[in-house]
Amino acid sequence: MDITVIEDSSGKKPVTVFQIAGDIDAQSYRELEARADEAFRNGTRRILLDLGNVRYVGSSGLRAVSAIFNLLRGASPEESDEKIKNGLRDGTFKSSLLKIARANDSVKQVFTLSGYDMFLEIHSDLQEALRSF
């Protein structure tokens, strides 16, 4: 897996884009977590995972996405436990800090079957995803 990190400040809020190429699986998920942790320590508070070149996301990849979600929301009062719990119950919560772009159909299915689409926006277009922040 290769990760290219790009800072984008063209929208309303700065976003760090992780352009990922390769599978996110048991061999690579720790690298994704480590890169997100490093970006967070350097001030990143919004991440867009560009999965346009990812064929497969395994359970370890889902674990990494969950870890990134929790890392970002831990520093954000706008995504408190209560707000998330109530929003998930009502079907109104989507993370404003972590989003997915350009996932292929099989990767989208992984996010849907695991329930991650309940709290993460999944965009088909990279520019649309950036504007959504």
Query: 92 pLDDT exceeds 90?
Result: no
For residue range 115-133, list pLDDT tens digits in order: 999 999 999 999 999 999 9
Q: What is the pLDDT of residue 23?
A: 97
Q: What is the pLDDT of residue 76?
A: 86
Please state whether beta strands 121-123 and 47-53 pair in parallel, antiparallel, or not at all (unpaired).
unpaired
Q: For residue 27, give its domain range.
A: 2-131
Neighbours of 109 (CB within 10 A): 13
Q: What is the pLDDT of residue 45?
A: 96
What CA–CA distance (Å, rounded) separates 74 from 6?
Answer: 22
What CA–CA distance (Å, rounded) separates 133 from 89?
Answer: 23
Beta strands in 11-130 (DSSP E): 15-21, 47-53, 98-101, 121-123
For residue range 52-87, list pLDDT tens digits in order: 999 999 999 999 999 999 999 988 887 888 888 888
Distance of alpha carbon 107 from the chain centroid: 13
Q: What is the pLDDT of residue 80?
A: 83
For residue range 12-44, list pLDDT tens digits in order: 899 999 999 999 999 999 999 999 999 999 999
Number of domains composing the chain = 1
What CA–CA distance (Å, rounded) separates 130 from 132?
Answer: 5
Q: Which two tokens stand for residue 94?
A: 């989507």
Q: Considering the entire predicted model, what is its pTM? A: 0.93
What CA–CA distance (Å, rounded) separates 53 from 6?
Answer: 15
Q: What is the pLDDT of residue 79?
A: 84
Q: What are phi and psi of 85, to 5 degrees?
A: -60, -50
Segment 97-125 mean pLDDT = 97
Assign residue 124 the CATH number of its domain.
Answer: 3.30.750.24
